[in-house]
Amino acid sequence: MLIDGLQYCNWSEKIFREWRASNITAVHVTISYHEQFRETVSNFEKWNNWFEKFPDLIMPAYYAQDVENAKTLNKTAVIFGFQNPSPIEDDIGLVEILHRLGGRFMQLSYNNQSLLATGCYEANDPGITRMGKEVIKEMNRVGMVVDMSHSSERSTFEAMEISKRPIVISHANPSFWHPAKRNKSNEILLKLSETNGFLGFSLYPHHLNNGSNCKLEDFCTMIAKTADLMGVDHIGFGSDLCQDQPDSIVEWMRVGKWTKKIDYGEGSASNPGFPEMPNWFRDNRDWHNILQGLKKIGFNDEEVKKIKGENWLNFFKKSFTPISK
């Protein structure tokens, strides 16, 4: 079972067919970046339309069981998440509403300070806010996973301490391999593993050693080293794939609605667009290359099965249901 823990593509029938051709069983899809609640609902409407139009290719997944059903039905299960807490605005009651609509992951902050936590581009990180503590408790209750992919160090540590359920870093790599602002320290990765959390390995070139020129073997060796650090049960993929997106979208991801200037994020004025993907992972057609790379580097079949999807499925099983009384 192949599962990708994060994509933000320019969705189309073409991509849905590539999902099927790659035999990908589930994808955590970013449904909102900086959209507020009503805009997020419009995004759910758009997906409802696709589910109605392509019932043989895709289906929504609310619980782990739906992912298993998708496997049986030869469809790709779509699991929704938010890269920013914008969809809940300043209203904690929207956590349960959005969980009911299908939201299963929410980043407590994107690159900036949010109402809940600090992003990895802020100069100062005061940690999880008062509202942040309440929202983590509510996310734990209803079964929405805390995602700290874009958050900064202290906030991430505090989130792991406050949350009663395991959290994720759905799309990032270890900074021991490539010291990008978005990659994570060994201390965070160890604590993540100790708390039964989860790391999804990113394939976004700015998170890769040597960027677009990163070698497959280098990527797979990094996975092996991370497995040594965290254990092989807490890792999987979170490709951060932005297939078929125009460069205006990477600007939207970075700038959202918070500034009238251009913010280049991980890019630069001379390199403002989407970076080119490595030639061994152009897009959803190339998952087989990575799986072969893992075998070649020495992972056995059992381990590859875990990393490619079983670990995510197990994480979904314990994470998406409400805590019952």
* Interacting residue ranges for its own copies, rule: CB under 8 A: 37-38, 41-42, 44-46, 48-49, 55, 91, 93-94, 96-97, 100-102, 325
Measured from the CB of residue 42, what is the shortest distance to its own copies in angstroms? Answer: 7
| Identity of the residue, 46 or 296, whose beta carbon is nearer to its own copies in the bound complex | 46
- The two tokens of residue 115 are 């109402």
Q: Is there a contact between 74 and 114 (Cβ–Cβ < 8 Å)?
A: no
| Identity of the residue, 44 or 177, whose beta carbon is nearer to its own copies in the bound complex | 44
3-state secondary structure at position 105: strand
3-state secondary structure at position 10: coil
Task: Say which amino acid occupies 174.
Answer: P
CA–CA distance, 158 with 40 (Å, rounded to integer) = 27
Contacts of 69 (CB under 8 A, 6+ apart): 59, 77
For the chain, the helix, strand and coil percentages under 3-state DSSP, each to the nearest 5: 45, 15, 40
| Identity of the residue, 54 or 258, whose beta carbon is nearer to its own copies in the bound complex | 54
3-state secondary structure at position 113: coil
| Identity of the residue, 44 or 121, whose beta carbon is nearer to its own copies in the bound complex | 44
Measured from the CB of residue 191, what is the shortest distance to its own copies in angstroms? Answer: 31
Contacts of 160 (CB under 8 A, 6+ apart): 148, 167, 191, 192, 195, 197
Measured from the CB of residue 47, what is the shortest distance to its own copies in angstroms? Answer: 10
Q: Is there a contact between 81 and 124 (Cβ–Cβ < 8 Å)?
A: no
| Identity of the residue, 93 or 248, whose beta carbon is nearer to its own copies in the bound complex | 93
Measured from the CB of residue 60, what is the shortest distance to its own copies in angstroms? Answer: 9
Measured from the CB of residue 56, what is the shortest distance to its own copies in angstroms? Answer: 9
- The two tokens of residue 84 are 């920013």
CA–CA distance, 280 with 214 (Å, rounded to integer) = 9
| Identity of the residue, 10 or 48, whose beta carbon is nearer to its own copies in the bound complex | 48
Measured from the CB of residue 54, what is the shortest distance to its own copies in angstroms? Answer: 11
| Identity of the residue, 11 or 312, whose beta carbon is nearer to its own copies in the bound complex | 11
Measured from the CB of residue 100, what is the shortest distance to its own copies in angstroms? Answer: 6
CA–CA distance, 75 with 70 (Å, rounded to integer) = 5
Measured from the CB of residue 165, what is the shortest distance to its own copies in angstroms? Answer: 17
Measured from the CB of residue 15, what is the shortest distance to its own copies in angstroms? Answer: 21
| Identity of the residue, 52 or 228, whose beta carbon is nearer to its own copies in the bound complex | 52
Contacts of 18 (CB under 8 A, 6+ apart): 283, 284, 285
| Identity of the residue, 65 or 300, whose beta carbon is nearer to its own copies in the bound complex | 65
Q: Is there a contact between 74 and 25 (Cβ–Cβ < 8 Å)?
A: no
- DSSP annotation of 190 reads H
Tell me which residue has tokens 């589930």.
Answer: 26
Q: Please report how many Cα atoms fall inside a 13 Å half-sphere around the Cα of residue 322, on the Cβ side.
A: 10
